[in-house]
Structure 1
Protein backbone atom coordinates (compact mmCIF):
# COMPACT_ATOMS: atom_id res chain seq x y z
CA UNK A 1 0.00 0.00 0.00
CA UNK A 2 2.93 2.33 0.73
CA UNK A 3 4.32 1.83 -2.78
CA UNK A 4 0.92 2.60 -4.36
CA UNK A 5 0.58 5.82 -2.34
CA UNK A 6 4.13 6.88 -3.17
CA UNK A 7 3.55 6.22 -6.88
CA UNK A 8 0.30 8.19 -6.81
CA UNK A 9 1.86 11.16 -4.98
CA UNK A 10 4.89 11.33 -7.25
CA UNK A 11 2.76 10.84 -10.37
CA UNK A 12 0.45 13.72 -9.42
CA UNK A 13 3.35 16.01 -8.56
CA UNK A 14 4.99 15.40 -11.95
CA UNK A 15 1.92 16.15 -14.07
CA UNK A 16 0.40 18.92 -11.95
CA UNK A 17 2.43 21.74 -13.49
CA UNK A 18 0.82 23.38 -16.50
CA UNK A 19 2.41 22.23 -19.70
CA UNK A 20 1.55 21.68 -23.33
CA UNK A 21 -0.50 18.56 -22.72
CA UNK A 22 -2.37 19.95 -19.72
CA UNK A 23 -3.16 23.22 -21.51
CA UNK A 24 -4.63 21.26 -24.42
CA UNK A 25 -6.76 19.10 -22.13
CA UNK A 26 -7.99 22.23 -20.33
CA UNK A 27 -8.91 23.85 -23.65
CA UNK A 28 -10.80 20.77 -24.82
CA UNK A 29 -12.58 20.57 -21.48
CA UNK A 30 -13.63 24.21 -21.68
CA UNK A 31 -14.99 23.66 -25.18
CA UNK A 32 -16.56 20.33 -24.12
CA UNK A 33 -15.07 19.01 -27.33
CA UNK A 34 -13.87 15.38 -27.60
CA UNK A 35 -13.06 15.37 -23.87
CA UNK A 36 -13.30 11.61 -23.34
CA UNK A 37 -10.98 10.64 -26.23
CA UNK A 38 -8.48 13.34 -25.25
CA UNK A 39 -8.30 12.38 -21.56
CA UNK A 40 -8.09 8.70 -22.52
CA UNK A 41 -5.19 9.38 -24.93
CA UNK A 42 -3.32 11.23 -22.18
CA UNK A 43 -4.06 8.69 -19.46
CA UNK A 44 -3.37 5.57 -21.54
CA UNK A 45 -0.17 7.13 -22.96
CA UNK A 46 1.04 7.86 -19.43
CA UNK A 47 0.13 4.33 -18.38
CA UNK A 48 2.20 2.85 -21.23
CA UNK A 49 5.17 5.09 -20.45
CA UNK A 50 5.03 4.38 -16.71
CA UNK A 51 4.81 0.64 -17.41
CA UNK A 52 7.84 0.92 -19.71
CA UNK A 53 9.77 2.80 -17.03
CA UNK A 54 8.87 0.39 -14.25
CA UNK A 55 9.79 -2.54 -16.54
CA UNK A 56 13.26 -1.04 -17.01
CA UNK A 57 12.89 0.70 -20.38
CA UNK A 58 14.65 3.76 -18.97
CA UNK A 59 17.91 1.95 -19.68
CA UNK A 60 17.27 2.45 -23.42
CA UNK A 61 17.44 6.24 -23.15
CA UNK A 62 20.73 5.90 -21.30
CA UNK A 63 22.06 3.31 -23.77
CA UNK A 64 21.25 5.37 -26.91
CA UNK A 65 22.78 8.82 -26.29
CA UNK A 66 21.44 10.41 -29.51
CA UNK A 67 17.85 9.44 -28.74
CA UNK A 68 17.45 12.12 -26.07
CA UNK A 69 18.71 14.87 -28.40
CA UNK A 70 16.37 13.83 -31.22
CA UNK A 71 13.42 13.78 -28.82
CA UNK A 72 14.41 17.17 -27.42
CA UNK A 73 14.70 18.96 -30.79
CA UNK A 74 11.57 17.38 -32.25
CA UNK A 75 9.62 18.29 -29.13
CA UNK A 76 10.93 21.86 -29.14
CA UNK A 77 10.02 22.33 -32.82
CA UNK A 78 6.49 21.09 -32.20
CA UNK A 79 6.07 23.35 -29.14
CA UNK A 80 7.29 26.41 -31.07
CA UNK A 81 4.73 25.70 -33.81
CA UNK A 82 1.90 25.02 -31.37
CA UNK A 83 2.80 28.09 -29.29
CA UNK A 84 2.80 30.27 -32.42
CA UNK A 85 -0.72 29.05 -33.24
CA UNK A 86 -1.91 29.92 -29.72
CA UNK A 87 -0.30 33.37 -29.83
CA UNK A 88 -1.85 34.05 -33.24
CA UNK A 89 -5.25 33.06 -31.85
CA UNK A 90 -4.71 35.43 -28.90
CA UNK A 91 -3.80 38.27 -31.25
CA UNK A 92 -6.80 37.68 -33.53
CA UNK A 93 -9.24 37.20 -30.66
CA UNK A 94 -12.95 36.95 -31.35
CA UNK A 95 -13.42 33.53 -29.79
CA UNK A 96 -16.02 32.82 -27.13
CA UNK A 97 -17.26 29.61 -25.61
CA UNK A 98 -20.50 28.36 -27.05
CA UNK A 99 -21.67 25.17 -25.36
CA UNK A 100 -22.06 22.29 -27.73
CA UNK A 101 -20.26 24.02 -30.61
CA UNK A 102 -17.43 21.91 -31.95
CA UNK A 103 -14.77 23.37 -34.21
CA UNK A 104 -12.07 20.68 -34.38
CA UNK A 105 -12.56 17.19 -35.71
CA UNK A 106 -12.07 14.20 -33.45
CA UNK A 107 -9.15 13.10 -35.62
CA UNK A 108 -7.40 16.45 -35.31
CA UNK A 109 -7.96 16.61 -31.55
CA UNK A 110 -6.57 13.10 -31.02
CA UNK A 111 -3.57 13.67 -33.31
CA UNK A 112 -2.73 16.95 -31.57
CA UNK A 113 -3.02 15.26 -28.19
CA UNK A 114 -0.79 12.38 -29.33
CA UNK A 115 1.82 14.83 -30.62
CA UNK A 116 1.74 16.90 -27.42
CA UNK A 117 2.20 13.71 -25.43
CA UNK A 118 4.68 11.61 -27.43
CA UNK A 119 6.84 14.45 -28.85
CA UNK A 120 7.47 15.93 -25.42
CA UNK A 121 10.84 14.76 -24.03
CA UNK A 122 9.78 15.77 -20.50
CA UNK A 123 7.11 13.07 -20.64
CA UNK A 124 9.82 10.44 -21.16
CA UNK A 125 12.07 11.93 -18.50
CA UNK A 126 9.24 12.07 -15.96
CA UNK A 127 7.48 8.79 -16.66
CA UNK A 128 10.07 6.43 -18.11
CA UNK A 129 13.30 7.61 -16.53
CA UNK A 130 12.33 9.25 -13.23
CA UNK A 131 9.37 7.07 -12.21
CA UNK A 132 11.15 4.00 -13.59
CA UNK A 133 14.29 4.62 -11.54
CA UNK A 134 12.39 5.53 -8.36
CA UNK A 135 10.26 2.39 -8.67
CA UNK A 136 13.42 0.32 -8.08
CA UNK A 137 13.43 1.55 -4.47
CA UNK A 138 10.25 -0.42 -3.76
CA UNK A 139 9.79 -4.15 -3.42
CA UNK A 140 6.32 -3.66 -4.90
CA UNK A 141 7.36 -1.97 -8.18
CA UNK A 142 4.07 -3.00 -9.75
CA UNK A 143 2.14 -1.23 -6.98
CA UNK A 144 4.28 1.89 -7.38
CA UNK A 145 3.58 1.91 -11.12
CA UNK A 146 -0.14 1.31 -10.53
CA UNK A 147 -0.22 4.30 -8.17
CA UNK A 148 1.44 6.52 -10.79
CA UNK A 149 -0.99 5.32 -13.46
CA UNK A 150 -3.96 5.98 -11.16
CA UNK A 151 -2.62 9.52 -10.63
CA UNK A 152 -2.58 10.11 -14.39
CA UNK A 153 -6.15 8.91 -14.88
CA UNK A 154 -7.36 10.91 -11.86
CA UNK A 155 -5.61 14.11 -12.96
CA UNK A 156 -6.57 14.08 -16.64
CA UNK A 157 -10.21 13.17 -16.03
CA UNK A 158 -10.48 15.85 -13.32
CA UNK A 159 -8.86 18.45 -15.60
CA UNK A 160 -10.86 17.56 -18.71
CA UNK A 161 -14.25 17.33 -17.05
CA UNK A 162 -13.59 19.85 -14.27
CA UNK A 163 -12.78 22.56 -16.81
CA UNK A 164 -16.50 23.02 -17.44
CA UNK A 165 -16.71 24.74 -14.05
CA UNK A 166 -14.78 27.60 -15.68
CA UNK A 167 -17.17 27.75 -18.65
CA UNK A 168 -19.00 30.93 -17.48
CA UNK A 169 -15.69 32.80 -17.44
CA UNK A 170 -14.85 31.64 -20.95
CA UNK A 171 -18.08 32.89 -22.47
CA UNK A 172 -16.20 36.19 -22.87
CA UNK A 173 -13.76 36.48 -25.80
CA UNK A 174 -11.21 38.31 -23.60
CA UNK A 175 -10.83 35.21 -21.42
CA UNK A 176 -9.93 33.10 -24.46
CA UNK A 177 -7.36 35.69 -25.54
CA UNK A 178 -5.71 35.52 -22.12
CA UNK A 179 -5.77 31.70 -22.15
CA UNK A 180 -4.31 31.56 -25.67
CA UNK A 181 -1.63 34.08 -24.70
CA UNK A 182 -0.68 32.05 -21.61
CA UNK A 183 -0.69 28.77 -23.55
CA UNK A 184 1.52 30.24 -26.27
CA UNK A 185 3.99 31.66 -23.76
CA UNK A 186 4.10 28.38 -21.81
CA UNK A 187 4.75 26.42 -25.03
CA UNK A 188 7.60 28.73 -26.03
CA UNK A 189 9.07 28.72 -22.51
CA UNK A 190 9.10 24.91 -22.49
CA UNK A 191 10.68 24.90 -25.98
CA UNK A 192 13.42 27.28 -24.83
CA UNK A 193 14.04 25.13 -21.77
CA UNK A 194 14.30 22.04 -23.96
CA UNK A 195 16.76 23.68 -26.34
CA UNK A 196 18.83 25.02 -23.46
CA UNK A 197 19.28 21.45 -22.28
Structure 2
Protein backbone atom coordinates (compact mmCIF):
# COMPACT_ATOMS: atom_id res chain seq x y z
CA UNK A 1 0.00 0.00 0.00
CA UNK A 2 2.87 2.36 0.73
CA UNK A 3 4.16 1.82 -2.79
CA UNK A 4 0.75 2.75 -4.24
CA UNK A 5 0.66 5.91 -2.08
CA UNK A 6 4.16 7.00 -3.11
CA UNK A 7 3.39 6.27 -6.77
CA UNK A 8 0.31 8.51 -6.59
CA UNK A 9 2.31 11.21 -4.82
CA UNK A 10 5.12 11.19 -7.38
CA UNK A 11 2.94 10.86 -10.50
CA UNK A 12 0.48 13.57 -9.55
CA UNK A 13 3.23 15.79 -8.18
CA UNK A 14 5.24 15.53 -11.37
CA UNK A 15 2.22 16.54 -13.46
CA UNK A 16 0.92 19.50 -11.43
CA UNK A 17 4.33 21.04 -10.67
CA UNK A 18 4.71 21.99 -14.34
CA UNK A 19 3.75 25.67 -14.38
CA UNK A 20 0.38 26.13 -16.05
CA UNK A 21 -2.50 28.60 -16.06
CA UNK A 22 -3.85 27.37 -12.73
CA UNK A 23 -0.49 27.56 -10.97
CA UNK A 24 0.35 30.96 -12.41
CA UNK A 25 -3.02 32.38 -11.33
CA UNK A 26 -2.71 31.10 -7.75
CA UNK A 27 0.87 32.39 -7.52
CA UNK A 28 -0.17 35.81 -8.81
CA UNK A 29 -2.91 36.06 -6.17
CA UNK A 30 -0.52 34.89 -3.45
CA UNK A 31 2.09 37.54 -4.21
CA UNK A 32 -0.69 40.17 -3.97
CA UNK A 33 -2.25 38.41 -0.94
CA UNK A 34 -5.69 38.57 -2.54
CA UNK A 35 -7.75 35.61 -1.32
CA UNK A 36 -4.92 33.29 -2.34
CA UNK A 37 -5.85 30.56 0.15
CA UNK A 38 -9.40 30.55 -1.20
CA UNK A 39 -8.02 30.07 -4.71
CA UNK A 40 -5.56 27.39 -3.61
CA UNK A 41 -8.30 25.59 -1.68
CA UNK A 42 -10.57 25.57 -4.73
CA UNK A 43 -7.77 24.12 -6.85
CA UNK A 44 -7.13 21.40 -4.27
CA UNK A 45 -10.84 20.56 -4.04
CA UNK A 46 -11.22 20.44 -7.82
CA UNK A 47 -8.20 18.13 -8.16
CA UNK A 48 -9.46 15.78 -5.45
CA UNK A 49 -12.97 15.65 -6.93
CA UNK A 50 -11.78 15.08 -10.50
CA UNK A 51 -9.23 12.46 -9.46
CA UNK A 52 -11.91 10.58 -7.52
CA UNK A 53 -14.30 10.76 -10.47
CA UNK A 54 -11.58 9.52 -12.80
CA UNK A 55 -10.77 6.57 -10.57
CA UNK A 56 -14.47 5.62 -10.50
CA UNK A 57 -14.99 5.47 -14.25
CA UNK A 58 -15.86 8.94 -15.57
CA UNK A 59 -12.77 8.73 -17.79
CA UNK A 60 -14.50 6.17 -20.02
CA UNK A 61 -17.53 8.44 -20.42
CA UNK A 62 -15.37 11.43 -21.33
CA UNK A 63 -13.51 9.46 -24.01
CA UNK A 64 -16.87 8.55 -25.55
CA UNK A 65 -17.75 12.27 -25.94
CA UNK A 66 -14.94 13.86 -28.00
CA UNK A 67 -17.15 16.85 -28.89
CA UNK A 68 -17.18 17.84 -25.21
CA UNK A 69 -13.39 17.98 -25.11
CA UNK A 70 -13.36 20.03 -28.32
CA UNK A 71 -15.79 22.60 -26.90
CA UNK A 72 -13.77 22.87 -23.68
CA UNK A 73 -10.60 23.29 -25.71
CA UNK A 74 -11.79 26.41 -27.50
CA UNK A 75 -13.40 27.87 -24.38
CA UNK A 76 -10.05 27.42 -22.67
CA UNK A 77 -8.18 29.07 -25.56
CA UNK A 78 -10.44 32.14 -25.37
CA UNK A 79 -10.20 32.50 -21.60
CA UNK A 80 -6.44 31.97 -21.41
CA UNK A 81 -5.96 34.41 -24.28
CA UNK A 82 -7.97 37.02 -22.37
CA UNK A 83 -5.84 36.50 -19.24
CA UNK A 84 -2.62 36.69 -21.29
CA UNK A 85 -3.70 39.95 -22.96
CA UNK A 86 -4.38 41.71 -19.67
CA UNK A 87 -1.21 40.41 -18.01
CA UNK A 88 0.97 41.52 -20.93
CA UNK A 89 -0.78 44.91 -21.03
CA UNK A 90 0.05 45.41 -17.35
CA UNK A 91 3.65 44.39 -18.05
CA UNK A 92 3.91 47.09 -20.72
CA UNK A 93 2.06 49.89 -18.95
CA UNK A 94 3.19 49.08 -15.42
CA UNK A 95 1.24 49.05 -12.21
CA UNK A 96 1.72 50.31 -8.69
CA UNK A 97 3.70 48.14 -6.31
CA UNK A 98 2.32 46.14 -3.44
CA UNK A 99 3.10 48.89 -1.00
CA UNK A 100 0.69 51.22 -2.81
CA UNK A 101 -2.26 49.60 -4.46
CA UNK A 102 -1.23 45.99 -4.90
CA UNK A 103 -2.30 45.91 -8.52
CA UNK A 104 -5.83 44.94 -9.39
CA UNK A 105 -8.12 44.81 -6.37
CA UNK A 106 -10.36 41.78 -6.70
CA UNK A 107 -13.26 40.67 -4.55
CA UNK A 108 -13.73 37.13 -3.30
CA UNK A 109 -16.47 36.43 -5.86
CA UNK A 110 -14.19 37.48 -8.75
CA UNK A 111 -11.35 35.33 -7.43
CA UNK A 112 -13.59 32.28 -7.00
CA UNK A 113 -15.08 32.60 -10.50
CA UNK A 114 -11.69 33.19 -12.14
CA UNK A 115 -10.15 30.24 -10.28
CA UNK A 116 -12.97 27.95 -11.37
CA UNK A 117 -12.62 29.18 -14.96
CA UNK A 118 -8.83 28.68 -15.04
CA UNK A 119 -9.35 25.20 -13.62
CA UNK A 120 -12.43 23.94 -15.45
CA UNK A 121 -11.86 25.51 -18.88
CA UNK A 122 -8.52 23.78 -19.35
CA UNK A 123 -8.96 20.42 -21.13
CA UNK A 124 -5.53 19.33 -19.94
CA UNK A 125 -6.89 19.25 -16.38
CA UNK A 126 -9.46 16.63 -17.43
CA UNK A 127 -6.93 14.63 -19.40
CA UNK A 128 -4.60 14.52 -16.41
CA UNK A 129 -7.12 13.94 -13.61
CA UNK A 130 -9.75 11.86 -15.42
CA UNK A 131 -7.58 9.88 -17.83
CA UNK A 132 -3.82 9.84 -17.33
CA UNK A 133 -3.49 9.63 -13.54
CA UNK A 134 -6.41 7.16 -13.05
CA UNK A 135 -4.98 4.96 -15.81
CA UNK A 136 -1.79 4.64 -13.78
CA UNK A 137 -3.76 4.23 -10.55
CA UNK A 138 -5.73 1.33 -11.99
CA UNK A 139 -2.50 -0.64 -12.23
CA UNK A 140 -1.65 -0.22 -8.54
CA UNK A 141 -2.31 -2.73 -5.76
CA UNK A 142 -4.57 -0.23 -3.98
CA UNK A 143 -6.43 2.36 -6.07
CA UNK A 144 -7.67 4.15 -2.93
CA UNK A 145 -4.15 4.48 -1.54
CA UNK A 146 -2.90 5.72 -4.92
CA UNK A 147 -5.70 8.31 -4.92
CA UNK A 148 -4.69 9.41 -1.41
CA UNK A 149 -1.11 9.92 -2.60
CA UNK A 150 -2.23 11.89 -5.65
CA UNK A 151 -4.48 14.05 -3.49
CA UNK A 152 -1.64 14.70 -1.06
CA UNK A 153 0.54 15.96 -3.92
CA UNK A 154 -2.14 18.45 -4.94
CA UNK A 155 -2.65 19.73 -1.40
CA UNK A 156 1.09 20.12 -0.81
CA UNK A 157 1.72 21.89 -4.11
CA UNK A 158 -1.05 24.47 -3.92
CA UNK A 159 -0.28 25.10 -0.25
CA UNK A 160 3.32 25.79 -1.27
CA UNK A 161 2.19 28.21 -3.99
CA UNK A 162 -0.11 30.11 -1.64
CA UNK A 163 2.39 30.26 1.22
CA UNK A 164 5.47 30.87 -0.90
CA UNK A 165 3.91 33.63 -2.98
CA UNK A 166 2.68 35.44 0.13
CA UNK A 167 6.06 35.03 1.84
CA UNK A 168 7.81 36.69 -1.11
CA UNK A 169 5.39 39.61 -1.30
CA UNK A 170 7.51 41.99 0.88
CA UNK A 171 10.19 41.85 -1.83
CA UNK A 172 7.68 42.66 -4.55
CA UNK A 173 6.83 46.23 -3.61
CA UNK A 174 8.56 47.80 -6.62
CA UNK A 175 6.63 48.31 -9.88
CA UNK A 176 9.49 46.74 -11.90
CA UNK A 177 8.97 43.47 -10.05
CA UNK A 178 5.34 43.40 -11.12
CA UNK A 179 6.26 44.10 -14.72
CA UNK A 180 8.46 41.01 -14.68
CA UNK A 181 5.79 38.90 -12.95
CA UNK A 182 2.99 40.05 -15.25
CA UNK A 183 5.19 39.53 -18.29
CA UNK A 184 6.09 35.99 -17.23
CA UNK A 185 2.48 35.10 -16.40
CA UNK A 186 1.24 36.63 -19.65
CA UNK A 187 3.72 34.67 -21.75
CA UNK A 188 2.88 31.43 -19.94
CA UNK A 189 -0.86 31.98 -20.44
CA UNK A 190 -0.31 32.81 -24.13
CA UNK A 191 1.88 29.72 -24.62
CA UNK A 192 -0.71 27.45 -23.03
CA UNK A 193 -3.50 29.02 -25.13
CA UNK A 194 -1.43 28.47 -28.29
CA UNK A 195 -0.74 24.89 -27.30
CA UNK A 196 -4.46 24.26 -26.81
CA UNK A 197 -5.36 26.01 -30.06
CA UNK A 198 -2.96 23.86 -32.06
CA UNK A 199 -4.15 20.70 -30.34
CA UNK A 200 -0.76 19.74 -28.89
CA UNK A 201 -1.32 17.09 -26.28
CA UNK A 202 -5.11 17.29 -26.76
CA UNK A 203 -6.91 14.48 -28.60
CA UNK A 204 -9.29 16.20 -31.00
CA UNK A 205 -12.12 14.55 -32.88
Give CA deviations for 1:82-121 in whole Å, capped at 9, x if unaligned.
Answer: 1111111111202211399681101101111110001011
Give CA deviations for 1:2-52 in whole Å, capped at 9, x if unaligned.
Answer: 111100111111110111111111111111111221111000000011101
- 1:85 alignment partner in structure 2: 86
Asked whether the 8 Å contact 1:34–1:109 carries over to 2, the reply is yes
For 2:120 and 2:86, locate their aligned partners in 1 and report how far apart those are by CA, in whole Å. Answer: 19
In structure 2, the gaps of 5 or more residues are 200-205
- 2:57 alignment partner in structure 1: 56
Offset of residue 71 of structure 1:
1.2
For 2:101 and 2:81, locate their aligned partners in 1 and report how far apart those are by CA, in whole Å. Answer: 30
Sort the Cα spacing of 1:127 and 1:96 in 2 relative to 1 into closer, same or farther, 3 A: same
> What secondary structure sits across from 1:94 in the alignment?
coil
For 2:28 and 2:44, locate their aligned partners in 1 and report how far apart those are by CA, in whole Å. Answer: 16
For 1:132 and 1:114, locate their aligned partners in 2 and report how far apart those are by CA, in whole Å. Answer: 22
When the two chains are superposed, the root-mean-square deviation of aligned CA atoms in Å is 1.5
2:137 corresponds, among 135, 138, 142, to 135
- Which is worse superposed, 95-104 or 144-153? 95-104
Offset of residue 193 of structure 1:
0.6
Aligned residues: 197
Runs of 4+, deviation exceeding 6 Å: none
In structure 1, the gaps of 5 or more residues are none
Give CA deviations for 1:103-154 in whole Å, capped at 9, x if unaligned.
Answer: 1101101111110001011111111110111111012011111111111011
2:40 matches 1:39: yes
- 1:148 alignment partner in structure 2: 150
- 2:180 alignment partner in structure 1: 178
For 1:78 and 1:121, locate their aligned partners in 2 and report how far apart those are by CA, in whole Å. Answer: 12
Q: TM-score, normalised by structure 2?
A: 0.92
For 2:127 and 2:24, locate their aligned partners in 1 and report how far apart those are by CA, in whole Å. Answer: 19
- Which is worse superposed, 26-35 or 164-173? 164-173
- 1:74 alignment partner in structure 2: 75
* 1:160-175 superposed matches below 5 A: 160-175=162-177
For 1:150 and 1:140, locate their aligned partners in 2 and report how far apart those are by CA, in whole Å. Answer: 15
